Structure 1
Amino acid sequence: MMQHFVRPDGTPPVNGYSHAVKFTGPMVAISGQVPADALGRVVGAGDSEAQIRQVFANLATALKATGADMDHVVKLTVYLTDLADLEAFRRVRDEFLGTARPPACSLVKVAGLVHPAFRVEIDALAELPAGA
């Protein structure tokens, strides 16, 4: 069971995330996913939306391996090298996660990531569904 507290009384406004998410049961941690394909090639060099889309596809693939999917995401941690990419992140996030039950989220601007062409990295915590 998962319960989203998008904006509890006394908290500031949000844009696509919940201030808190309460859940029961086992969980899985997904390591930071980067904009690389299954062969390790950079996807979308210079194209933030293509990179973010690849990162979410990689998150979905990793979640599927555990028996979970994007509906089970409890929290995201997002690392962007350029805050100008924030709108693209929000657009793609909403496509992959929807807007009805947004996860908790932290966003950090970083000076760089492990590969100089990477503009984004995202890790996730997810609730494992029963039987997974």
Structure 2
Amino acid sequence: MMQHHLRPAGSPPVNGYSHAVSFTGPMVAVSGQVPVDADGQLVGEGDPDAQLRQVFVNLGVALAAAGVGFADVVKLTVFLVDLADLPAFRQVRDEFLDPERLPACSLVQVAGLVHPAFRVEIDALAGR
């Protein structure tokens, strides 16, 4: 069972996430996914949309391997090198996740990621 607490009484307005998500059952932690394909090749150098899509594809593969899917995601942590990529993140995220049942989310601007061409890394928690 999963319950989204979009905006509990007394909390500030939200923009694209739930303040809290409660759930029961097993929990799956997905390590940070980066914009590389199954062959280990960088996808979308300089292209935030392409990089974000590849990251979400990779998240989907990892979630499926653990027996869950995007509907089971309760928390995302997003690392962006450039906050100008935030609108692209929201657009791509909404292609993979139900905009009416968004997970809790943290967004962190970072100076860089493990590869200088990476613009984004995302990790996830999921539960049933």
Range of TM-score over shorter length: over 0.9
Distance 2:4 2:98 in 1: 13
- What stretches of structure 2 of length at least 5 have no aligned partner? none
Q: Which residue of 1 aligns with 2:83?
A: 83
Corresponding pairs, count: 128
Deviation at 1:50, TM superposition (A): 0.6
Q: Which residue of 2 aligns with 1:23?
A: 23
- What stretches of structure 1 of length at least 5 have no aligned partner? none
Q: Which amino acid aligns with 2:52?
A: I
Distance 1:95 1:111 in 2: 27
Give a deviation string over 1:61-93, Cα, whole Å, max 9, x none: 000001100000000000000000000000011
Distance 2:15 2:98 in 1: 13
TM-score (norm 2): 0.98
Deviation at 1:15, TM superposition (A): 1.4
Distance 1:92 1:6 in 2: 20
Distance 1:67 1:119 in 2: 28
Q: Which residue of 2 aligns with 1:100?
A: 100
Over the matched positions of the two proteins, sequence identity in percent amounts to: 73
Q: Which residue of 1 aligns with 2:72?
A: 72
Q: Which residue of 2 aligns with 1:119?
A: 119
Distance 1:7 1:85 in 2: 25
Distance 2:52 2:67 in 1: 23
